[in-house]
Structure 1
Amino acid sequence: MSAIFLETRRLILRQWQECDYEPYIQLNADNEVMEFFPSTLTRDESLAQIVRLTAHIDQYGYGFFAVERKDNHEFIGFTGLANVRFESHFTPCVEIGWRLNKANWNQGFATEAARACLKYAFDTLKLNEVYSYTSVDNKRSNT
């Protein structure tokens, strides 16, 4: 069992497990989920991303955590905090982000997980600020 970092009423945010690999590959191959990204990800790209996400959590104690539903123990995506890896006028910084499979959209899971991550960021990690950014066309994430 991987380390649990955060729990909410309905969710567990934890380190990645091998059983997450296939659903994560499917999530990143979904055109609708990846609508506001340059492209979907291949199997190898998704697996490489899991390696990076896991290493970030191991190194910093936070990252984009695997999100599991408590009611059915299903992996539904990720939510968490990460150090931004590009240069911009607002970097260096920590960002909050999420990506869930379509079956779990519009049920408040992203909001629930993001609130837990923000509480962790400010109360536990003692961060002064957390950034969020997305495409201006991504209305679901802008609300």
Structure 2
Amino acid sequence: MIETPRLLLRGWRQADAAPFQEICSDPQVMEYLGEPMTLAETELVVSRMQAMQAQLGYCFWAMEHKETGALMGFCGVKPGAIGTSIDGQLEIGWRMARAWWGAGYASEAAQAVIDWVWANLKVDSIWAITAPANQRSQALMLRLGMVRHRKLDFQHPAMPPGDPLRAHVTYSLNRPSAVPEA
């Protein structure tokens, strides 16, 4: 579990499926992610995240508001999707209920995840992808210090040809260099 001043990032529970489905059925939340999800689809996501956590020790963790215990969405890392420009890389991702937007929670969670990665995983970089129109996510990527790689932009294989969400942009953040001792 990762704890920040306002958040807990934790493993998924089966009881998270219904509140997560509420988040994933909001057309504004899903605007750049695809169709709103059913309960059965969110149950599959929860099961996949639980399996990933058990196998790898990380996933897109459930994001919980510390004060209220509310499921806010997710933030974490997973292997980049096969057939994308980040295949074989570590991908950071987030999704949050609209009620929590604009209060710095996504930045707080993502920075905590980045700090966890540098402390716990032997990777040189963290990657992120999104649809070009998703300016909110790209703004967060820039706030985190990520850099865009235009040559690595791609057509996402999970989206059908002609879908406006098929195009994706690619960002990364390199591991900070060790500062030599004075």
Sort the TM-score into its range (normalised by shorter chain).
Answer: over 0.9
**What whole-Å deviation, never above 9, does each CA across 1:83-139 have from its counterpart, x for those lacking one?**
123223442111000000011111111100000100111121132111011111011
Superposed displacement of residue 37, structure 1: 1.8
1:117-136 equivalent positions in 2, closer than 5 A: 117-136=113-132
Distance 1:124 1:38 in 2: 32
Normalising by structure 2, we get a TM-score of: 0.73
Unaligned runs of 5+ in 2: 140-182
Higher relative contact order (CA 8 A, sep 6+): 1
Do structure 1's residue 85 and structure 2's residue 81 form an aligned pair? yes
The structure that has the greater radius of gyration is: 2
1:52-131 equivalent positions in 2, closer than 5 A: 52-131=48-127
Structure 1: 4+ residue segments shifted above 4 A: none
- 3-state secondary structure, aligned to 2:125: coil
Please say if residues 29 and 97 of structure 2, whose CA atoms lie closer than 8 Å, have aligned partners that are also in contact. yes
Normalising by structure 1, we get a TM-score of: 0.92
Seen in structure 2, the aligned counterparts of structure 1 residues 132 and 26 have a Cα distance that, compared at 3 Å, is same
Instruction: Give, as a single letter, the amino acid of the residue that structure 2 aligns with 1:45.
Output: E
The percent identity for this pair of structures is 33
Residue 25 of structure 1 is aligned with which of 13, 17, 21?
21
Unaligned runs of 5+ in 1: none
Partner of 2:158: none
